[in-house]
Structure 1
Amino acid sequence: MKLNLLIIALVFIQFEGKSQTGTIALQNFASGFASPVDIANCGDNRLFIVEQDGLIRILNNNGTVNSTPFLNITTLTNESGEQGLLGMAFHPNYSSNGFFYINYTNNSGNTVIARYSVNPSNPDLANTTGTILLTITQPYSNHNGGTLKFGPDGYLYIGMGDGGSGGDPGNRAQNINELLGKMLRIDVNSGTPYSIPSNNPYVGVAGLDEIWAIGLRNPWKFSFDRLTGDLWVADVGQNQYEEVNRATSTESGLNYGWRCYEGNTAYNTTGCAAQSTMKSPLFITTHSNGFCSITGGYVYRGTQYPNFQGKYLFSDYCKAQIGISDSLGNVIFSQTFSGNNFVSFGEDANGELYVSSISNGTVYKIIDSSLELSEHSKNEVLIYPNPSKNEVYIKNTNLGNPITKVEICDINGKTILTENNHTNSIDYVKTQSLQSGFYVMKITNNLGLHSIHKLIKD
């Protein structure tokens, strides 16, 4: 009995010791994609995988992929280097209006922002004709950005690279009369084909009205924290540094510093304002450590892995590690997942996170392997369904030793629910009163022997 109690204590000590970060691991969710450069959800249990060649495919929550693409624009774009179909975003009212937006380079190499709609007769198919909202001329083939997201204010944000080449030779990122090297913000709910939010920083003054922020080199991936609304922008660097910037959703008119600065280091300060007037990165990574092209991610707001809660997860094309940062920019890295080049993160409707690898066409679910607790007598006691909604059933194959006690504990070891029955075996426990999240089930038989199980409550 003392040994069993010691095992329980060690389980919780181990859990609490990892509670600040967890242990990042990958679960193969689906494979067979061609250059999966973006992952989006429309609020239901599907994921939409954007392939660079011009297809958007539906990935179901059981890991199957629909054979017919949701959208096919392969005739409108040309996958080459950093060109192609690069991103998609669903309208916040997609369930009622059916609108979604895509970001691609056309056959002339210029950026196009277009609106499409779902087929009203088939939720797994989009209408084939879209409406172009914005076309932006690209002087070079690289640094096209690619991400577009709706912010908490309902406006559409578009990340634009500096136009390419190297070193921003046209100084476009600092030029307020250019849309390149900027974060744009437009209102797609009014105007033809869109209107400008009245509080955009250059409305009524010098500068293009669509601009929300300047000084970006290539914001390949950015995202909004679904809880706080904060904007996290990962900006791909030039020669030495990759950077991640964090801003509140109301900070307008920011200057992120490029080409004056790469990270926090001067790059080309000719004609630049003082560095103190610019937004400094929350943190940087360096090329000397093997990084080369940052892949921005999301702040975790799911329920299955509480160790990740409130942390920002990201990666890099050249170094297949997943970084995890707190709100202050303190970063640790996972193991290296060899054979991968991570190019996109995505979150499902519940806030669980996924990452795609362009090198092997795989979409992984990000999990916390530190929650995979060892189970004593695992083969004798099974629990199902797991995740559970209203109740969890207990199958005990050792009928000679009935289950007499079941305890459900939170991640800190506090007992939330207890069931006792000394005359009959306990075969189910009601869980509808539990909040969504992760729990530990301690199951005890009439001999006082324990079985430890992970339980997820939907």
Structure 2
Amino acid sequence: MKSPVLSNFWLHAFFAAVFLAHGPADAAIPDAGSPQPVPVPPEIPAAELPEEMMTGIVLRKLAFDREFDSPVMLASLPDASGEQVVAMQRGEFCAVRLDGSGQWRPFLDFRAKMKGIVLFEEGVHGIAFHPRFAENRLFYISYSQNEPRRTVISEMRASKDATPDALPETERVLLEIPQPLADHWGGHIAFGPDGCLYIALGDGGLRNDPYRLAQNPWVLHGKVLRIDVNSRSGNLPYGIPEDNPFAKEQTVRREIFALGFRNPWGLSFDARTGQLWCADVGQDLWEEINRVEAGANYGWSDREGPAKSAFHAHSDLPDTAVKDPVHAYTRLRGEGICIVGGLLYRGQKLPQLDGAFVFADWGYGTIWALGIDPASGLPSRRSVLHRKDAEHKFNPTLVTADVDGEPVLLSQDGALYRLEKDDD
């Protein structure tokens, strides 16, 4: 008798190949004149946690003599310089100091490569420096390209100067993932404490993930990947870590570390425990925060947030254990529309945040701290750190940290912010 997993796998592989070859135009579209079911409005769920205001913390804009055009990522140079590099969506990268001096300098101008990449979610998505950057000068970027539409993960070198500049002529492409549509890219990248590069990828777009790419074990969409940039596996330009959860599986892409994501935005590792955290942008109802574990399935698109999705009657892979988010908030209560991650705070200047996951909502401009019970690992409280004033053009694109682990926020309006102790 055929294994249902294997049968499902080959069915998935076939449909994924057809979809990626022909694009969404070949998808069956219901006859607009035929009767359509009337959706039942979902019930508004009870709040999982009480919400409170946390006093003593203020959001302060950092002074620079320029704007940073749609910043999407901030990565620290792993040396003693104290510099961090801001990656901007349209291809500019700047090295900055977040010490209040307002110092910045060009690091990489990739704008010519991004020419014609203008849609809302297209462009640069991430940057990460090799843990041994001081020795090898290597760093990695994630960005989108067209004709064909694809996500590119590549390696590049920087100069050996005390204030290094990128050397774009050294670019080496590691991975290219075909993309059906120009949204749900994901694309954040980060090195883990194990020295491996982690890559977050979205489901490729379209409502409801109709091709079930996030659950398909033979495509990389809707997954968190883990690769070894210091080795090679066969003809691949990178290595597959031997302890990857599916490294010995023939029916799963070996790069996959975890699956079942819609549009993951904000990878971060707990500086104390090494645990990987990830925010995942929802579709209609839920925005979620996940602790990402090896081999785990986070449910999309069989589930959205903590609930079963209304648009897929049956689970895609039979008998699949699904891991619930650590926390989810919902549009049904008007809490927000687009989560951005996110870091587990381990700094020194804001002790009231110790062990809390700090995250924000792009649409509402709200910043929260999710208190985590250290014994159970479950959320115990949710505190509001900042609510956007109506006149404030604040749309956070990332919550991350400076070189000392203190919270920094990037905003689509071109500004960088800090969360600081309120001395007033």
Task: Classify the TM-score, shorter chain.
Answer: 0.7 to 0.9
Aligned partner of residue 307 in structure 1, secondary structure? helix
- AA aligned opposite 1:24: I
The 8 Å contact of residues 126 and 143 in structure 2, kept in 1 or not, is answered as yes
| Aligned counterpart, 2:71 | 36
**Alignment RMSD:** 1.8
- AA aligned opposite 1:302: G
Does 2:334 correspond to 1:281? no
CA distance in 2, matches of 1:52, 1:197: 30
Aligned residues: 347
In the TM superposition, residue 21 of structure 1 has moved relative to its aligned partner by 5.6
1:446-457 matches, cutoff 5 A: none
| Aligned counterpart, 1:416 | none
CA distance in 2, matches of 1:238, 1:275: 24
CA distance in 2, matches of 1:262, 1:184: 21
In the TM superposition, residue 274 of structure 1 has moved relative to its aligned partner by 7.1
1:7-156 matches, cutoff 5 A: 23-31=56-64, 32-43=67-78, 44-60=81-97, 61-67=99-105, 69-77=106-114, 78-108=117-147, 109-121=149-161, 123-129=163-169, 130-156=171-197
| Aligned counterpart, 1:380 | none
The 8 Å contact of residues 54 and 384 in structure 2, kept in 1 or not, is answered as no
Structure 2 unmatched ranges of 5 or more? 1-52, 373-377
CA distance in 2, matches of 1:29, 1:262: 36
Structure 1 unmatched ranges of 5 or more? 1-19, 374-458
| Aligned counterpart, 1:302 | 347
| TM-score normalised over the length of structure 1 | 0.73
CA distance in 2, matches of 1:30, 1:219: 30
| Aligned counterpart, 1:392 | none
Question: What are the superposed Cα offsets for residues 43-77 of structure 1, whole Å, 9 maximum, x if unpaired?
Answer: 3411211110101111123442434x201111222
CA distance in 1, matches of 2:142, 2:173: 10
Aligned partner of residue 369 in structure 2, secondary structure? strand
CA distance in 2, matches of 1:106, 1:276: 34
Of residues 383, 388, 406, the one that matches 1:332 is: 383
| Aligned counterpart, 2:298 | 256
In the superposition, relative to structure 1, how do residues 113 and 59 fare at CA in structure 2: closer, same or farther (>3 Å)? same
Question: What are the superposed Cα offsets for residues 403-430 of structure 1, whole Å, 9 maximum, x if unpaired?
Answer: xxxxxxxxxxxxxxxxxxxxxxxxxxxx
CA distance in 2, matches of 1:110, 1:63: 38
Question: What are the superposed Cα offsets for residues 234-291 of structure 1, whole Å, 9 maximum, x if unpaired?
Answer: 00001010000114xxx31100000000011111242335788111011101112141
| Aligned counterpart, 1:386 | none
The 8 Å contact of residues 143 and 217 in structure 1, kept in 2 or not, is answered as yes
In the superposition, relative to structure 1, how do residues 30 and 62 fare at CA in structure 2: closer, same or farther (>3 Å)? same
In the TM superposition, residue 365 of structure 1 has moved relative to its aligned partner by 1.0
- AA aligned opposite 1:176: P
1:199-238 matches, cutoff 5 A: 199-205=243-249, 206-238=251-283
In the TM superposition, residue 307 of structure 1 has moved relative to its aligned partner by 1.4
1:435-450 matches, cutoff 5 A: none
Does 2:421 correspond to 1:368? yes
Aligned partner of residue 95 in structure 1, secondary structure? helix
The 8 Å contact of residues 341 and 400 in structure 2, kept in 1 or not, is answered as no
Aligned partner of residue 127 in structure 1, secondary structure? strand
In the TM superposition, residue 30 of structure 1 has moved relative to its aligned partner by 3.5
CA distance in 2, matches of 1:25, 1:62: 16
CA distance in 2, matches of 1:291, 1:275: 33
In the TM superposition, residue 337 of structure 1 has moved relative to its aligned partner by 2.4
CA distance in 1, matches of 2:127, 2:364: 25
- Of 268-277 and 230-239, deviating more is 268-277
| TM-score normalised over the length of structure 2 | 0.78
Question: What are the superposed Cα offsets for residues 136-171 of structure 1, whole Å, 9 maximum, x if unpaired?
Answer: 000000000021011111110000000011111110
Aligned partner of residue 199 in structure 2, secondary structure? strand
